[in-house]
Amino acid sequence: MTDRDWDDDSEYHNAVDRAERATRVGWAVIAGTTGVLGCVLIAMAIVCVVAVVACVYVVMAADY
């Protein structure tokens, strides 16, 4: 026989704790991915602006 009562909710609480932990990890991954993608987007925008400015400089310098 087992020593646990019929109303022992320890397994339920363990499952809830694991689910909460998984939810926290999931949201952390989502936030991290969003942050990295935002940084990449900003870096790409800066590279594009620099490329446009460089092209304009080359066109202006060639047109003496």
Q: What tens-digit pLDDT sequence spans the chain (64 residues)?
A: 456 666 677 888 899 999 999 999 999 999 999 999 999 999 999 999 999 999 999 999 986 6
Q: Where are the domains of the chain?
A: 8-64
Length of the chain as a residue count = 64
Q: Cα dihedral sign for 49, 50, 54, 60?
A: positive
pTM reported for the whole predicted model:
0.65
- Residues 17-30: b if buried by 16+ CB within 10 A, e if exposed: eeeeeeeeeeeeee
Q: How high is the pLDDT of residue 4?
A: 61
List helix spans (H) across the chain: 10-62
